[in-house]
Structure 1
Amino acid sequence: MNYRLGIDVGGTNTDGVLLDRNMNVIHSLKTPTTEDVETGIYNTIHQLVEEAKVNVENIEFAMLGTTQCTNAIVERKKLNRVATIRIGAPAATAIKPLAGVPEDLQAILGGHTYMVEGGHEYNGDEINTLNEDRIRSIAEEIKGKVDSIALTSIFSPVDQTHETKAEEILREVLGNDISISLSSEVGSIGLLERENATILNASIINVAKTTAEGFEKALQHNGIHAKVFFCQNDGTLMSKEYTLKYPILTVACGPTNSLRGASFLSDNKDAIIVDVGGTTSDVGVLVKGFPRQSSLAVELGGVRTNFRMPDINSIGLGGGTIIRVAEDNTFTVGPDSVGHRLLEEALVFGGSTLTTTDVAVALGKVKLGNPENVAQLDKNLLEAIYKRMVEMIEEAVDKIKTSAADMPVVFVGGGSVLFPNEIKGASQVYQPENGGVANAIGSAISQISGEIEKIYSISKENREEILKQAKELAISETIKAGADSEKVEIVDMESVPLAYLPGNATRVKVKAAGDLAIQV
């Protein structure tokens, strides 16, 4: 029997799950996330294997979903020193690189920014010849001063030759050990946001490396020699090599894993998912089994970027959310939480803080801790607080809908047991078994994906041919990333005419996904 191991590292808990080849849950558990992360992952794997009593040699795949890269950007910790090179002079010099990036982050990145002649028009024509000598002199200048390089050229998603040529030159001078991020592979059309996404990607390479190596070590110490994959934020997987190149794609993979896990557990491909954690509830939408992507530019750690992100509405309501009651019996719900200290601070566990968990226990909605500790609370007040908690969820669900029609709603996450099985706006409410570890299940069941985004000049005559070509490109990217060539399908495709550009310019975006290729 072959198994899959899924791990999801959250701020409070590290969740683990073992699935068999038919995707049945063999065993699942939660352990506290540790300061160095690796220990928490090791503990989870060790406990999981011990309790499930499986032969570790039969674990074929191991998947990790982690918030480490997101936290590094938000908390400004352990970031690389980055050289930022923009290819686009003299056309793109009005706004300097790192414009709009908060000053504290600029200081950490090191402020090595350069602008070089080159770049392309939207249709692939050169704006200027690439100044190769300047690239060489920059390489000499930054030797030993930076850990990674972010390369951005104007309209490189259309033509990336200047970025790849610049990378070749930098490698000649600096060798293969330095990490180089190309904007054409990270962000979409839109120069400044794409450049920012590339800079952030370059800044978290070391964090990704530490996390990946920590995961591999934790597996080895438990005697597991599985094929390792990392979760990205569109609900699919990438190899270690791919992760170390594009760590930015792991940002927000936690909520995404919960969405995918909820889809799998409730057998729903189109639904609204509410993931109730200890601190927040994340509400997202599943479309054909994958998270709906946000169409807006995304702010990450104060930096405006345009790489793909799931469309998630987060509210400050979770299992550990603090309830404050005034003398006149008015109250507030959150937004702060006792977080991972719930087992020490909540009233039902002998603490002194009134939380949402206490309210649900006192009203008999859930059995946890010692109900005696909350028996003296005013029932009318508790009913009013509980009503407000449910209304907050209903409002969040309503905000993320695109039509007035009722939709299936799936509750997952450790705090999902607090909520009723009927809410306004839901055609049906699901609370699946194992929903508490939906995020780890989401990481274990994930498929491999590949995506391309390019601008083509499309006419009636060549439309079919170009779209076919784009689909083939996306499929080959997916197979390259580790998917089974027999089981790849197109899961999303959009073509948007760009009205402000001549020559029938159309932005084509295609995404393919497939099952993992299993070595026989």
Structure 2
Amino acid sequence: MKYTIGIDIGGTHTDGVLVDEKGVICKAYKTLTKRPLAKGVFEVIVRLQEFNESAQIEGVFVGTTHATNAILEAKGLTPIGLIRIGSHRPHLLPPCYLWPKHLHSSFFIGFETVLGGHHTDGSKIGSLSKMEVKEACLKLKEKGAFGLAVVSPFSPLIKDHELECMDIIQDTLGPDFPVTLSSEIGGIGLIERENGALLNAALKETMKKELMLIESLKEELKLKAPLYLTQNNGSLITFSEASEKPILTISSGPTNSFIGASRLANFQEAIVLDIGGTSTDIGIVTNGFPTKSFELANIGGVPLNFRMPDVEALSIGGGSLIRQGTEEPLIGPDSVGKELFMKSKAFGGDVLTLTDVCLKLKLFEMKEASLQKIPLTESMAKSILTHVQTSIQKSIEKIRGLKTDFPIVAVGGGAYAFSKSDCLIPENHFVANAYGASLAEISYTLDTVRENISKTSVIENLKEEVLQGVLSKGADPKEIRIIDLVVLPYSYLPKDMGRIIITAAGKRI
């Protein structure tokens, strides 16, 4: 029997599942997330291997919120600089415009502008000067930059100057100096594309270090199986790809959760609640995959032109602090997170949490908990829980729209806060994220800007290119399919030009 290991590294817990060829969970394990992340991963894999020490592991698929948390908390980001290519005064709008100050001040050290760039028709705005680029990168390095982002107008159409700029930087600062090109990160919109390139550059080093430590576990664990990371469309990328483009892993947590929840409940269409230790994510699953948002993604107050899952996020989780307001209880937004068992009232701590409320109402039991230490009457606990359920229900109604016939599936450690009469809580709900990661497939995405996008032949040729791309990455020819196709016309550009994003996926051979 062949097996797959799925792992989810969250801000509070690291979960793992051992899944057989039929998609059945043979063993599940949960532990607190540790630093470095590899410590928790090691513990999970060791415990899963106890099920069958001679089991043939075909792959280890890891999902993590590490990149997302680094942005939200503005921690662990590498100091980086920006080189703007443009002969048309791009400095009039400063980088990190309208970003939260605590975020950009945690890693952004400055920018330099050099002549160059292209118009939409491919003609040059100006020639790129090797001397200017060399001087710019040396200045930024002297200021303390350990990586650089490069952005040029309309570079998704014409990448020449960004590529040339990268060559000059690495000739000057060394071939291994980290450089992120905006043309490889986002679409035509300059500001959102620049934002994505900046965040990607700042995340590279921290992601690379964590993934290298996880990769180093293979020898000690005697693992021959390949390691993959899940990205925000629910498919797999290699550790080396994730190290170069960590921005692709943002929002992979909710994606894994929604996919895992729908499969555990055996639904192709559902409303999914993932109630974790810190927050609750609500989303819609159609055809077994999360629906995508048509709005610009926004992470930590930074607009990005990626397509993310349509998620309604609430600051309500098992570790959320409970305070008494003037008229009704205040839930969160702060949480004790992985310190739940030290700080929560039921465990001898000094703060009241949602877990205390659920324990008081005997929705679940924990051996270490003492109900006598929870300063609530049963009626008070019921009132708080009703308030929580009402808040979540309002968000469900907001996101579901006309999909009133979709069943509700609740997963995550906090699923017990919802009544089973209101929703389905499947078996193994507490490891839905890890299970979703174990189901991830190989994918290939083409994100390009082309002319004549209204012609069927243009789209069909690109679809064939994408299918060949996913085959080249090791997908089973019998299983490959197009899972996402988006055509975004640029009505303000000539030649019927637009952005085309196509993703194909398939199970590994």
The answer to whether TM tops 0.5 is yes
Give the match for residue 72 of structure 1.
70
Give the match for residue 159 of structure 1.
158
Q: Which residue identity does 2:267 align to in structure 1?
A: N
Give the match for residue 447 of structure 2.
453
Answering whether residue 197 of structure 2 is matched by residue 198 of structure 1, we say: yes
Distance change >3 Å, CA 376–CA 106, structure 1 → 2: closer
* Bigger mean CA deviation after superposition, 392-401 or 312-321: 312-321
Question: In the TM superposition, what are the counterparts of 1:48-127 in structure 2 within 5 Å?
Answer: 48-50=48-50, 52-55=51-54, 58-90=56-88, 92-103=90-101, 105-109=103-107, 111-127=109-125
Cα shift at 1:179: 1.9
Rounded Cα–Cα distance in structure 2 between residues aligned with 1:483 and 1:38: 28
TM-score by length of 1: 0.88
Give the match for residue 340 of structure 1.
338
Q: How many residue pairs get matched?
A: 507
* Bigger mean CA deviation after superposition, 491-500 or 353-362: 353-362
Answering whether residue 49 of structure 2 is matched by residue 29 of structure 1, we say: no
Over the aligned positions, Cα root-mean-square deviation in angstroms equals 2.8
Cα shift at 1:437: 0.5
Rounded Cα–Cα distance in structure 1 between residues aligned with 2:145 and 2:476: 38
Rounded Cα–Cα distance in structure 2 between residues aligned with 1:480 and 1:121: 34
Rounded Cα–Cα distance in structure 2 between residues aligned with 1:384 and 1:230: 41
Rounded Cα–Cα distance in structure 2 between residues aligned with 1:73 and 1:333: 23
Equivalent residues of 1:347, 1:373 under 8 A apart = no
Give the match for residue 432 of structure 2.
438
Distance change >3 Å, CA 331–CA 135, structure 1 → 2: closer
Question: In the TM superposition, what are the counterparts of 1:261-272 in structure 2 within 5 Å?
Answer: 261-272=260-271
Cα shift at 1:329: 8.8
Rounded Cα–Cα distance in structure 1 between residues aligned with 2:281 and 2:453: 42
Equivalent residues of 2:11, 2:66 under 8 A apart = no
Q: 1:484 aligns with which of 460, 476, 492?
A: 476
Rounded Cα–Cα distance in structure 1 between residues aligned with 2:68 and 2:327: 39
Cα shift at 1:107: 4.8
Rounded Cα–Cα distance in structure 2 between residues aligned with 1:112 and 1:339: 34
Give the match for residue 457 of structure 2.
465
Give the match for residue 134 of structure 1.
132
* Bigger mean CA deviation after superposition, 281-290 or 136-145: 136-145
Rounded Cα–Cα distance in structure 1 between residues aligned with 2:486 and 2:267: 23
* Bigger mean CA deviation after superposition, 391-400 or 376-385: 376-385
Cα shift at 1:103: 5.0
Give the match for residue 293 of structure 2.
294
Distance change >3 Å, CA 314–CA 103, structure 1 → 2: closer
* Bigger mean CA deviation after superposition, 294-303 or 487-496: 294-303
Give the match for residue 249 of structure 1.
248
Cα shift at 1:239: 0.5
Cα shift at 1:377: 5.0
Question: In the TM superposition, what are the counterparts of 1:416-427 in structure 2 within 5 Å?
Answer: 416-423=415-422
Aligned to 2:479, the other structure's residue is in SS state strand
Give the match for residue 426 of structure 1.
none
Give the match for residue 308 of structure 1.
307
Equivalent residues of 1:275, 1:411 under 8 A apart = yes
- The share of aligned pairs that are identical, in percent, is 35
Equivalent residues of 1:80, 1:203 under 8 A apart = yes
TM-score by length of 2: 0.90
Cα shift at 1:247: 0.8
Aligned to 2:339, the other structure's residue is in SS state helix
Give the match for residue 259 of structure 1.
258
Rounded Cα–Cα distance in structure 1 between residues aligned with 2:67 and 2:135: 32
Cα shift at 1:205: 1.1
For structure 2, the 5+ residue unaligned runs are: none
Q: Which residue identity does 2:429 align to in structure 1?
A: G
Question: In the TM superposition, what are the counterparts of 1:196-235 in structure 2 within 5 Å?
Answer: 196-235=195-234
Equivalent residues of 2:75, 2:106 under 8 A apart = no
Rounded Cα–Cα distance in structure 1 between residues aligned with 2:387 and 2:208: 44
Residues 162-217 of structure 1 deviation map (CA, whole Å, 9 limit, x = unaligned): 22232233334444312221111111221011011101101111111111111112
Aligned to 1:204, the other structure's residue is in SS state helix
Rounded Cα–Cα distance in structure 2 between residues aligned with 1:443 and 1:125: 45
* Bigger mean CA deviation after superposition, 175-184 or 128-137: 128-137
Answering whether residue 48 of structure 2 is matched by residue 44 of structure 1, we say: no
Give the match for residue 276 of structure 2.
277
* Bigger mean CA deviation after superposition, 77-86 or 15-24: 77-86
Equivalent residues of 2:63, 2:231 under 8 A apart = yes
Rounded Cα–Cα distance in structure 1 between residues aligned with 2:93 and 2:497: 26
* Bigger mean CA deviation after superposition, 183-192 or 171-180: 171-180
Cα shift at 1:306: 2.3
Aligned to 1:483, the other structure's residue is in SS state coil
Give the match for residue 495 of structure 1.
487
Give the match for residue 7 of structure 2.
7
Rounded Cα–Cα distance in structure 1 between residues aligned with 2:69 and 2:357: 31
Aligned to 2:205, the other structure's residue is in SS state helix
Cα shift at 1:67: 2.2
Aligned to 2:444, the other structure's residue is in SS state strand
* Bigger mean CA deviation after superposition, 316-325 or 181-190: 316-325
Aligned to 2:132, the other structure's residue is in SS state helix
Answering whether residue 507 of structure 2 is matched by residue 515 of structure 1, we say: yes
Equivalent residues of 2:6, 2:62 under 8 A apart = yes
Residues 345-385 of structure 1 deviation map (CA, whole Å, 9 limit, x = unaligned): 44555556443334334444334446863899544433332
Rounded Cα–Cα distance in structure 1 between residues aligned with 2:106 and 2:322: 38
For structure 1, the 5+ residue unaligned runs are: 424-428
Q: Which residue identity does 1:446 align to in structure 2?
A: A
Rounded Cα–Cα distance in structure 1 between residues aligned with 2:66 and 2:270: 28
Q: Which residue identity does 2:74 align to in structure 1?
A: R
Rounded Cα–Cα distance in structure 1 between residues aligned with 2:46 and 2:436: 20
Distance change >3 Å, CA 381–CA 147, structure 1 → 2: closer
Cα shift at 1:77: 3.2
* Bigger mean CA deviation after superposition, 372-381 or 433-442: 372-381
Rounded Cα–Cα distance in structure 2 between residues aligned with 1:469 and 1:91: 38
Give the match for residue 506 of structure 1.
498
Equivalent residues of 1:42, 1:218 under 8 A apart = yes
Q: Which residue identity does 1:235 align to in structure 2?
A: G
Rounded Cα–Cα distance in structure 2 between residues aligned with 1:237 and 1:292: 18
Residues 279-316 of structure 1 deviation map (CA, whole Å, 9 limit, x = unaligned): 21111222322222333333434433323332221112
